[in-house]
Chain A
Amino acid sequence: RKEVEQDPGPFNVPEGATVAFNCTYSNSASQSFFWYRQDCRKEPKLLMSVYSSGNEDGRFTAQLNRASQYISLLIRDSKLSDSATYLCVVNTGRRALTFGSGTRLQVQP
């Protein structure tokens, strides 16, 4: 079983749509959680950290459910510029990050 699992997609959505990505992790001792965004041929960039209380940054909302070992990302009012691969990332306490395989989002006009 992979340490971090994501639906690879692609998710094809129209502009303005709301889209949600889910992720599960296997190590219950995991300590920190993130969503990264990776554009084609670019390095991953931090989108947001994920906390148990949930956090919101503009159109983006992230949630963490430790009991279910489940992380989500919600994007509201999708823009064309949101098209990218979204990586679910976990820090298991080893200091290095463990990456999911990524979920590809394509926002269409």
Chain B
Amino acid sequence: SAVISQKPSRDICQRGTSLTIQCQVDSQVTMMFWYRQQPGQSLTLIATANQGSEATYESGFVIDKFPISRPNLTFSTLTVSNMSPEDSSIYLCSVDPQGRGSYGYTFGSGTRLTVV
């Protein structure tokens, strides 16, 4: 399975600022997925990042708030913009190493964001 390096592991940010989260995969993958896990909740998909095209956002998430870059098949970033305390969550990236949707997906270790 793929190994994902996610940075930063945690951060405390002032409201109104932005934070960029990076995920580096040790193999080429077609799609990378970004999830949010709010305190005490399960994972919610933010968007799917495709190399060479714009990310696909889920209902309730917009590009202005969560811009995503996918410059190549091993790297992606998610930016949380103009942060408010409601953005305090764990953000995780994920990949489908087999590219078939039928096997287990791998997750980064997560970024624990606190907005004050």
Residues in chain A within 8 A of chain B (CB atoms): 31-32, 34, 41-46, 49, 87, 91, 93, 95-102
Contacts and interface: CB of A to CB of B under 8 A. Distances in A.
Contacts of A93: 101
Interface residues of B, number: 22
Interface string B93-116: 010100001111111111010000
A101 B102 contact: no
B59 interface: no
A49 B104 contact: yes
Contacts of A98: 45
A100 B43 CA distance: 8
A43 B101 contact: no
A91 B98 CA distance: 14
Contacts, number: 51
B107 A44 contact: yes
Contacts of B104: 34, 46, 49
Contacts of A91: 101-102
B105 A42 contact: no
Contacts of A44: 43, 92, 107
11 contacts: A32-B102, A32-B103, A42-B109, A43-B110, A91-B102, A95-B96, A96-B33, A96-B45, A97-B33, A99-B44, A101-B42
Given A31-B102, A43-B108, 18 more contacts: A31-B101, A32-B103, A41-B112, A42-B109, A43-B107, A49-B102, A87-B43, A95-B33, A95-B48, A96-B31, A96-B33, A97-B33, A97-B45, A97-B94, A99-B44, A100-B42, A101-B41, A101-B42
